[in-house]
């Protein structure tokens, strides 16, 4: 159709050229900002990456974990995938369907397209209703203009498509039932159909214009974000320097000019994609313990900061210069030091964003180079500095003499610094903290009861280095790791059992970068459950009602959810947030050694979790982590709860002693009966 002297196709071409050019420019600009990041090899294991794209991006498996919002999003996502080819067809005046598409599949293709328009419309209507009528708490008080405009644009695209279909000759009631219904029932005039067509194309052009300027840039960046996600075990941090063999460069050969992240370009290109892939769904915010306790850290804002910082400093960055404000200042030191590294944000993110490495890498710079802190965080961080000094001098955060490290095992008749099939790595808490020494003794007693050849390292054991690494002192961590691995090699350690999930993770996952590939590391709950299944320990059971708190570094990060529960004979009452959705105790990320400050009206992290545990009404809280034991004990005491906190090993050993006592009682009864 012509409009005066101007043909309609020319108007459409101009509109399309403007919107497509702007969209392409913005994507190109974002790509340039991403590619100035540090190199990062994410081109390994293509089959696994393609599989994850199929389930995580196309299958939307993480999105669907939120049944309501996820279901709505999936309708729009799959709808758009199904209708996308029709946009191209309409933009080319049906050239695609008339000239390229084989006649045999035109009908099924039309059905797919109309189904796409339909479910996208249903999804948009549901989303708009949820946002306007049933507004979630996290959206209240915030501007919803951007999201609502996008939803209205998509609704315009979908509704007008049915009128365009109705205006086509021979619209099929089989393959285009809604278009046929509109043609028969509403009977739109030619002007209405033409108006619908232009509204449809203008909505698409506007949508293309807005995508790169809004959170909907994730439509472009989510796919590469998922494909190039970190395939290493969760929470595995990068060494300071990696050699050609893919392993950490040892301290003696280290050649590093700077440590950690201070500039935008210190982040890897994959870490930078996160900034444009974020959907602003706030799932990370919803599960963050620091955010819940009123601290300044909002993991979603950290990701937004990456993109906003890049856009604000585009010219400077592309000139290869450093902006006046560094990325640490944009994040804020109070946010950086608030993170517990629980990785709940990473687990919750539907598009595989890595929030935590951005914060821990910033800590590396603050701890290893800057060595000075904002006034806002000085009171929080200074106790950590004393902990670092203790680790440097005595290889434990308590500052107690290292020669006392094995004293907890006195009288247990256990091998010390000798070859054994199983080496129990007590860790610092079980070696020096009076409460947790009992856990270590009970664990050894259980292992000996099962007839295992077990030993400890005694004073030759050093801290695994978890606290140093999460605090940002990577050099100290590597020194501790290399020392422990030298001890393992000297004694011939092959199987390690740890009752601390932080040691379990660090020794089992992170030491592999430093030469610990052949060491098998088990959490004590895994070993206990294994021994029970083999019949080397009796059937598990417990007294009273028990709930269980999943430690972050064992459950969500370590992936072990069943062994602790089975080891104690099951859990009677689960908390509302359990398993991989468990809420942090507040001690991770070296927070155990920092001072926690909360504003009025907020609870400390351990208080929040303790209240959740107390709400179960159980008699006992079972734990599998010395830090969780301390934090939850303190939290329950603070809220006046009389719940007991017991480690997995304590519960199992109590039952073993009760079984032995019952057996002895039966023997005594039989002996007395025989004498009578």
Question: DSSP characters for 153-204?
Answer: HHHHHHHHHHHHHHTSTT--TTT-HHHHHHHHHT---HHHHHHHHHHHHHHH
CB-CB neighbours of 479 under 10 Å: 18
Q: Give the pairing type, strands 2-3 and 520-523.
A: unpaired
**Residues in CB range of 541: below 8 A, 6 or more apart:** 569, 655
Token digits of residue 106: 């035109």
Show the low-confidence residues of the chain (pLDDT under 70).
1, 662-676
Predicted pLDDT at 674 = 59
Cα atoms in the Cβ-side hemisphere of radius 13 Å centred on 354:
24
pTM here is 0.92
Secondary structure letter of residue 510 according to DSSP? I
Predicted pLDDT at 275 = 97
What is the Cα–Cα distance from 595 to 376, expressed in whole angstroms? 12
What is the Cα–Cα distance from 465 to 472, expressed in whole angstroms? 11
Question: 414, 454 in Cβ contact below 8 A?
Answer: yes
Number of helices and strands (H, E) in the chain? 29, 10
Phi, psi of 370 (to 5 degrees): -75, -45
Q: What is the largest CA-CA distance in the chain?
A: 122
Token digits of residue 8: 């309609």
Model confidence pLDDT, tens digit, residues 619-652: 999 999 999 999 999 999 999 999 999 999 999 9
Q: Give the pairing type, strands 495-498 and 546-548.
A: unpaired
Predicted pLDDT at 262 = 96
Residue 239 DSSP SS3:
coil
250 DSSP β-pair partners: none
**Residues in CB range of 634: below 8 A, 6 or more apart:** 606
Predicted pLDDT at 663 = 67
Question: 317, 264 in Cβ contact below 8 A?
Answer: yes
CB-CB neighbours of 314 under 10 Å: 15
Question: 366, 576 in Cβ contact below 8 A?
Answer: no
């Amino acid at each position: 159709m012509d409009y005066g002297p101007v043909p309609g196709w020319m108007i459409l071409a101009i509109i399309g050229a403007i919107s497509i050019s702007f969209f392409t420019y913005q994507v190109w600009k974002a790509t340039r900002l991403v590619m100035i990041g540090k190199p990062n090899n994410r081109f390994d294991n293509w089959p696994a990456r393609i599989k994850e794209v199929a389930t995580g991006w196309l299958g939307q498996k993480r999105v669907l974990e939120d049944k309501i919002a996820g279901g709505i999003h999936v309708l729009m996502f799959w709808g758009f995938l199904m209708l996308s080819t029709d946009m191209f067809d309409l933009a080319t005046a049906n050239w695609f369907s008339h000239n390229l598409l084989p006649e045999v599949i035109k009908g099924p293709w039309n059905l797919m397209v109309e189904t796409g328009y339909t479910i996208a419309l249903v999804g948009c209507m549901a989303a708009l209703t949820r946002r306007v009528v049933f507004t979630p708490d996290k959206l209240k008080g915030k501007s919803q203009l951007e999201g609502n405009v996008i939803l209205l644009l998509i609704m315009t695209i979908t509704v007008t498509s049915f009128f365009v279909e109705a205006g086509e000759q021979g619209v099929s009631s089989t393959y285009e039932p809604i278009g046929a219904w509109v043609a028969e029932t509403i009977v739109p005039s030619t002007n209405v159909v033409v108006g619908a067509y232009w509204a449809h194309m203008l909505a698409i052009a506007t949508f293309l214009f807005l995508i790169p300027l809004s959170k909907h840039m994730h439509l472009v960046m989510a796919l590469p974000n998922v494909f190039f996600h970190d395939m290493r075990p969760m929470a595995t941090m990068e060494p300071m320097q990696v050699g050609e063999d893919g392993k950490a460069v040892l301290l003696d050969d280290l050649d590093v000019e700077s440590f950690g992240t201070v500039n935008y370009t210190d982040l890897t290109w994959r870490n930078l994609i996160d900034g444009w892939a974020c959907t602003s769904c706030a799932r990370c915010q919803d599960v963050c313990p620091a955010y819940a306790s009123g601290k300044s850290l909002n993991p979603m804002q950290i990701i937004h900061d990456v993109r906003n910082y890049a856009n604000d400093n585009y010219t400077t960055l592309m000139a290869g210069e450093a902006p006046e404000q560094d990325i640490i200042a944009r994040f804020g030191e109070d946010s950086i030091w608030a993170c517990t590294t629980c990785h709940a944000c990473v687990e919750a993110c539907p598009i595989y964003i890595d929030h935590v490495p951005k914060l821990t890498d910033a800590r590396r710079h603050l701890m290893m180079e800057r060595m000075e802190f904002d006034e806002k965080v000085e009171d929080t961080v200074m106790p950590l500095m004393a902990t670092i000094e203790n680790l440097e001098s005595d290889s434990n955060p308590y500052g107690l003499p290292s020669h006392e490290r094995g004293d907890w095992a006195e009288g247990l008749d256990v091998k010390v610094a000798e070859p054994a099939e199983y080496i129990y790595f007590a860790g610092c808490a079980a070696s020096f903290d009076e409460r947790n020494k009992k856990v270590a003794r009970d664990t050894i007693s259980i292992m000996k009861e099962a007839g295992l050849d077990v030993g400890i390292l005694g004073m030759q054991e050093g801290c695994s280095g978890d606290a140093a690494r999460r605090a940002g002192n990577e050099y100290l961590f590597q020194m501790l790791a290399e020392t422990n691995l030298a001890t393992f090699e000297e004694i011939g350690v092959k199987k390690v059992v740890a009752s601390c999930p932080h040691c379990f993770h660090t020794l089992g996952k992170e030491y592999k970068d430093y030469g610990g590939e052949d060491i098998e590391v088990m959490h004590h709950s895994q070993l206990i459950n294994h021994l029970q299944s083999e019949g080397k320990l009796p059937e598990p059971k417990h007294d009273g009602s028990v709930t269980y708190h999943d430690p972050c570094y064992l459950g969500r990060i370590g992936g072990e959810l069943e062994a602790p529960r089975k080891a104690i004979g099951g859990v009677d009452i689960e908390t509302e947030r359990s398993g991989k959705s468990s809420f942090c105790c507040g001690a991770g990320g070296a927070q155990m050694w920092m001072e926690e400050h909360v504003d009025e009206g907020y609870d400390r992290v351990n208080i929040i979790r303790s209240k959740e545990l107390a709400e179960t009404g159980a008699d006992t809280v079972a734990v599998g982590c010395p830090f969780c034991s301390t934090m939850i004990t303190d939290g329950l005491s603070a809220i006046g709860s009389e719940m007991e906190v017991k480690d997995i090993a304590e519960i199992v050993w109590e039952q073993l002693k009760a079984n032995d006592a019952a057996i002895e009682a039966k023997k005594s009864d039989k002996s007395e009966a025989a004498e009578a």
